[in-house]
């Protein structure tokens, strides 16, 4: 009774009284399926330990965030009462018309086609709170527990988490530096058909430009082949291609490639998931989807249950930014800045990692990541020593094993994802040097 008051004790008392007086918590099946995202934990530890050089989280470069452009767009938006009132009001579930129109036009332009040629209209575009929300909505609308999604092995970990939380099986397909290998995809489809499971295959997920984590970009012939395969194998129900274009604008070498959507002339197969998080700002949290016409109403219905429209303010702000023409300039600058950082990371890898036998990587042409292969006997994840050694040396990375689908291609434990998004060139150099020391220690430990 006379205990000194403290927040901790107060919280414990509330917790005790709650757990004493209440019946046990029964979580839904989906909550049980939803395991904690390992990457979320890593991001939290990176934020909590600022002294570590983090080459882990896929955050964007703070130095290139578009402060001035955003300030000007904000001021333009707030300078008219009518505009300000619109932005501060609810919007529609589908999203801002001006933004949706700009998005279809820019997709067609990037693909060197017209909207008519691509059967594209603004009515098929939905604006979401980041493209993760779209990926989740698609999962809700298209998949039942036990359904199957075919993915690159490895691929975007958060989408794999979405699938797990829905009780959906992710099946990994062999990938190389040109993305998913079509022959392996076809082989998997054959095996699933033989096992009587073809009808459960609902989608192929492909990050077509600079995948996260490998930075592999799907080659043009594979783009058309994968769309063809999805259509050809849609015998027991439609197999969609979910084309995630998160990193399309972050390309540093070579020219842009046509989207997978451009090979789907009628637009019934490919769903495009895009975002302004990497090319502009993740804090604004605007993503978008281009949907086959018959998927629009189901996705809108589900989004109506979630939030009946993503934050209208962010959408109006981005519409201003796009209209001002400053977005294109910003992306140009961003590419320059990330190209320099990518080169700094590759140079550091050449300096500190190339001398270590069995360590390999490919120079990324875009995106934010370098994907490292280590000697086979080194485990980079929680079951090995390397992660702790790297932290002792002062750096953080993401263990590659988290990026593998739950079935199909085997999980490779000797892989690491390094991100060059956040650190300065000198931070990148110091982080890779620390990793090199940690790998050498891990090799020594395993030899003892
Ligand atoms: C491949 C890929 N898709 C989608 C996203 C999600 O981006 P957001 O939800 O911020 O739009 C990310 C973020 O890192 C990503 O790497």
Read off the pLDDT of residues 246-304 as tens digits, 9 standing for 90 and up.
Answer: 999 999 999 999 999 999 989 999 999 999 999 999 999 999 999 999 999 999 999 99
Read off the pLDDT of residues 304-324 as tens digits, 9 standing for 90 and up.
Answer: 999 999 999 999 999 999 999
Q: Is the CB–ligand 1 distance for residue 215 below 6 Å?
A: no
The Cα–Cα gap between 290 and 183 comes to 27
* 3-state SS string for 96-125: CHHHHHHHHHHHHHHCCCCCCCCCCCHHHE
| Residue 20 confidence class, pLDDT cut points 50, 70, 90 | low
Number of Cβ within 10 Å of residue 409's Cβ equals 18
Q: Is the CB–ligand 1 distance for residue 217 below 6 Å?
A: no
Locate the ligand 1 atom nearest the alpha carbon of residue 133 and give its number: 9
Read off the pLDDT of residues 389-438 as tens digits, 9 standing for 90 and up.
Answer: 999 999 999 999 999 999 999 999 999 999 999 999 999 999 999 999 99
Residue 315 falls in which region: left (phi positive, over 0), alpha (psi -120 to 50) or beta: alpha
Residue 108: pLDDT over 80: yes
Q: Confirm if 433 and 350 have CB atoms less than 8 A apart.
A: no
| Residue 446 confidence class, pLDDT cut points 50, 70, 90 | confident
Angle in degrees, CA 46, 156, 178, rounded to 5: 125
Locate the ligand 1 atom nearest the alpha carbon of residue 135 and give its number: 4
Q: Which strand (E) or helix (H) includes residue 447?
A: helix 425-447
The Cα–Cα gap between 196 and 447 comes to 47
The Cα–Cα gap between 250 and 363 comes to 14
Residue 216 three-state SS: coil
Q: Is the CB–ligand 1 distance for residue 287 below 6 Å?
A: yes
Which residue's alpha carbon is nearest to atom 12 within ligand 1? 246
The closest of 179, 175, 228, 174 to 208, measured between CA atoms, is 179
Residue 191 falls in which region: left (phi positive, over 0), alpha (psi -120 to 50) or beta: alpha
Read off the pLDDT of residues 116-168 as tens digits, 9 standing for 90 and up.
Answer: 999 999 999 999 999 999 999 999 999 999 999 999 999 999 999 999 999 99
The closest of 170, 126, 135, 133 to 152, measured between CA atoms, is 170
Token pair of 53, please? 């050089």
The Cα–Cα gap between 412 and 400 comes to 7
Read off the pLDDT of residues 205-234 as tens digits, 9 standing for 90 and up.
Answer: 999 999 999 999 999 999 999 999 999 999
Residue 358: pLDDT over 70: yes
Read off the pLDDT of residues 46-92 as tens digits, 9 standing for 90 and up.
Answer: 667 788 999 998 788 889 999 999 999 999 999 999 999 999 999 99
Q: For the chain, what is the mean pLDDT? A: 92
H helix runs in 325-424, sequence order: 326-352, 386-393
Locate the ligand 1 atom nearest the alpha carbon of residue 286 and give its number: 11
Which residue's alpha carbon is nearest to atom 16 within ligand 1? 212
Which residue's alpha carbon is nearest to atom 14 within ligand 1? 58
Residue 8: pLDDT over 80: no
Q: Confirm if 42 and 56 have CB atoms less than 8 A apart.
A: yes
Locate the ligand 1 atom nearest the alpha carbon of residue 211 and give its number: 1
Q: Is the CB–ligand 1 distance for residue 267 below 6 Å?
A: no
The rounded Å distance from CA 203 to ligand 1 centre is: 18
The rounded Å distance from CA 272 to ligand 1 centre is: 13
The rounded Å distance from CA 156 to ligand 1 centre is: 8
Mutation to probe ligand 1, out of 61, 103, 138, 158 (largest number of atoms < 8 A from CB) = 158
The rounded Å distance from CA 312 to ligand 1 centre is: 20
Locate the ligand 1 atom nearest the alpha carbon of residue 247 and give its number: 1
Angle in degrees, CA 419, 424, 425, rounded to 5: 90
Give me the half-sphere count of Cα atoms (radius 13 Å) on the Cβ side of residue 234.
18
Which residue's alpha carbon is nearest to atom 2 within ligand 1? 246
What secondary structure does DSSP assign to 57-99, as a single string?
S-PPPGGG--HHHHHHHHHHHHSSHHHHHHHHS---SS--HHH
pLDDT at residue 49 in the model: 76
What are φ and ψ of residue 223, in 5° steps? -60, -50
The rounded Å distance from CA 277 to ligand 1 centre is: 7
Q: Confirm if 245 and 274 have CB atoms less than 8 A apart.
A: yes
Residues making up the chain, counted from first to last: 448
Q: Is the dihedral of CA 222, 223, 224, 229 positive or negative?
A: positive
| Percent of the chain with pLDDT strictly greater than 90 | 84
Task: Extract the runs of DSSP E, i.e. beta strands, from 212-359.
Answer: 240-244, 270-275, 287-290
The Cα–Cα gap between 94 and 278 comes to 22
């Amino acid at each position: 009774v006379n205990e000194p008051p403290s927040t901790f004790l107060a919280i414990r008392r509330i917790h005790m009284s709650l757990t004493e007086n209440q019946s046990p918590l029964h979580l839904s099946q989906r909550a049980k399926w939803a395991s904690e995202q390992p990457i979320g934990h890593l991001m939290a530890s990176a934020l909590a330990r600022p002294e570590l050089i983090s080459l882990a989280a896929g955050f964007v470069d703070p130095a290139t965030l578009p402060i001035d452009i955003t300030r000007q767009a904000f001021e333009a938006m707030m300078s008219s009462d009518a505009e300000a009132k619109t932005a501060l009001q609810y919007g529609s579930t589908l999203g801002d018309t001006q933004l949706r129109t700009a998005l279809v036009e820019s997709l067609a332009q990037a693909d060197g086609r017209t909207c008519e040629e691509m059967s594209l209209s603004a009515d098929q575009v939905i604006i979401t709170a980041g493209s993760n929300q779209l990926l989740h909505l698609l999962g809700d609308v298209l998949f039942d527990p036990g359904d199957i999604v075919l993915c690159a092995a490895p691929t975007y970990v958060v989408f794999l988490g979405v699938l797990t939380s829905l009780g959906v099986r992710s099946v990994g397909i062999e990938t190389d530096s040109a993305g998913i290998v079509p022959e392996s995809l076809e082989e998997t489809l054959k095996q699933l058909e033989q096992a009587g499971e073809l009808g459960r295959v609902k989608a192929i997920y492909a990050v077509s430009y600079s995948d996260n984590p490998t930075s592999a970009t799907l080659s043009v012939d594979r783009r058309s082949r994968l769309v063809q395969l999805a259509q050809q194998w849609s015998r027991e129900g439609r197999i969609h291609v979910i084309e995630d274009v998160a990193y399309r604008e972050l390309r540093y070498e070579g020219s842009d490639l046509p989207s997978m959507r451009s090979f789907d002339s009628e637009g019934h197969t490919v769903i495009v998931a895009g975002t302004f998080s990497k090319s502009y700002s993740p804090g604004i949290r605007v993503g978008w989807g281009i949907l086959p016409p018959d998927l629009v109403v189901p996705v809108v219905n589900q989004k109506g249950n979630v939030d009946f429209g993503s934050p209208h303010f962010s959408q109006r702000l981005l519409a201003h930014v796009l209209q001002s023409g400053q977005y294109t300039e910003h992306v140009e600058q961003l590419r320059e800045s990330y190209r320099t950082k990518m080169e700094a990371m590759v140079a550091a890898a050449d300096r500190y990692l190339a001398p270590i036998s069995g360590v390999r990587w490919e120079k990324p042409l875009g995106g934010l990541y370098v994907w490292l292969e280590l000697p086979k006997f080194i485990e980079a994840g929680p079951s090995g020593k390397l992660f702790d050694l790297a932290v002792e040396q002062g750096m953080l990375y993401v263990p590659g094993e988290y990026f593998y689908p739950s079935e199909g291609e085997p999980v490779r434990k000797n892989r690491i994802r390094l991100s060059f998004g956040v650190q300065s060139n000198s931070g990148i150099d110091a982080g890779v040097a620390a990793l090199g020391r940690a790998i050498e220690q891990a090799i020594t430990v395993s030899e003892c």
